[in-house]
Amino acid sequence: MSKKKTGLGRGIGALLDNIDVDLDPTASGLQAEEKVQILKGTAEIPIESIELNPFQPRRDFDEEKLKELSQSISNHGVVQPITVRLKEGTTDRFQLISGERRLRASTMAGKTEIPAYIRLADDQAMLEMAIIENIQRENLNPIEVGMSYQRLLEEVNLTHEQLAQRVGKHRSSVTNYLRLLKLPPEIQKGLQNGKISMGHARAILGTDDIATQLLVYGETLEKALSVRAVEQLVRQYASFTRSTGSKKVAAINQEIKRVQDDLCKRYDRKINIKHKSNGSGQIVFNFNSKDDLNDLLDTLDG
């Protein structure tokens, strides 16, 4: 018989597949038979015994939708149990892993108990479960998704490949969400507020220049541009920048040549100026013999 996988690789569904666990009876104050009862399937637990998840990625909850969910819970009860863990060092206190909206709505509906899956999880596993569960929500905006991905990379130490597997997305999709976090805050806010779509944001990322990104964003809002129009606008700005840059480089090179010619005439010898794009460079004086070098040094000293 193959061993059942217990990893987090299939998203939040996988987290709840393995609710039945075998426990060491000495792990806390509960007796073995009590542990088996409380940690298998679901249990109705007092709402007042549940602490909110300190790792909850989401902080804003739509009050109107909470009221709608509260009314549904009043009529039909909690359809999907929340997920909690037993708080370390206690036998009757819990920390929420996922389901804060259901918990808040149940409290709003006047419920005193709520069905819950009770799991064993350390802080890192709890953070990972909370973030992945949060990502599964359909109403997250692209910036919230990108920030959740970033937290999984930084705080759970996942690679891009592992992250893609955890959330059930292609790696390219994960990368696209993470790239959104490179946009200026003003554009990120516009994406969060629905002023532009993710397609617009990705088109704006066609240039790395922040000033150009902000110009394109402003024009997108002003003219209600389509994604295709934004892509074209970014290409136009990029073409203009390349053209202007080439003209600027040509002008600099011409000025360097003029100064080089002046120096050659002044010192009556071959002189080369090497100029770099960052503004640094070298002036090279050429000499043909030791005596010629001494003449050059006397000239420079004088």
Task: Give me the pLDDT at residue 201, please.
Answer: 95
Residue 168 backbone zone (phi > 0: left; psi -120 to 50: alpha; other: beta): left
pLDDT at position 114 over 90: yes
Helices (H), ranges, 168-197: 171-179, 185-192
Task: Give me the pLDDT at residue 202, please.
Answer: 95
Q: Which fold would CATH assign to domain 1-138?
A: 3.90.1530
Is 100 tagged catalytic? yes
pLDDT at position 99 over 60: yes
Question: In terms of pLDDT, which residue wins out, 40 or 210?
Answer: 210
Query: Which among 41-45, 151-155, 194-198, 284-288 has the top mean pLDDT?
Result: 194-198
Is 209 strand, coil or helix? Answer: coil
Question: In terms of pLDDT, which residue wins out, 32 or 232?
Answer: 232
pLDDT at position 20 over 60: no
pTM: 0.50
Q: How confident is the model at residue 10 (pLDDT cuts 50, 70, 90)?
A: very low
b/e map of 249-285 (b: 16 or more CB within 10 Å)? eeeeeeeeeeebeebeeeeebebeeebeeeeeeeeeb
Q: Are 230 and 203 in contact (CB under 8 A)?
A: yes
Please give the Cα distance from 260 to 271 (Å, whole number). 7
**Taking the CB of residue 75, how many other CB atoms lie within 10 A of it?**
8
Tens-place pLDDT, residues 178-195: 999 999 999 999 999 999
Q: Are 296 and 285 in contact (CB under 8 A)?
A: yes
Please give the Cα distance from 27 to 66 (Å, whole number). 37
Q: Which of these ranges, 3-7, 18-22, 221-225, 265-269, has the smallest mean pLDDT?
A: 18-22
* Candidates 100, 128, 144, 231; catalytic one: 100
pLDDT at position 31 over 60: no
Task: Give me the pLDDT at residue 17, please.
Answer: 39
Averaged pLDDT of the chain: 77
Q: How confident is the model at residue 72 (pLDDT cuts 50, 70, 90)?
A: very high
Q: How confident is the model at residue 277 (pLDDT cuts 50, 70, 90)?
A: low
The ranges assigned to domains in the chain are 1-138
pLDDT at position 35 over 50: no
Residues 6+ apart with CB under 8 A from 85: 94, 95, 97, 118, 119, 120, 121, 126
Q: Are 48 and 145 in contact (CB under 8 A)?
A: no
pLDDT at position 15 over 70: no
Q: How confident is the model at residue 101 (pLDDT cuts 50, 70, 90)?
A: confident
Length of the chain: 302
Please give the Cα distance from 231 to 219 (Å, whole number). 12
Structural element, H or E, at residue 46: strand 42-46
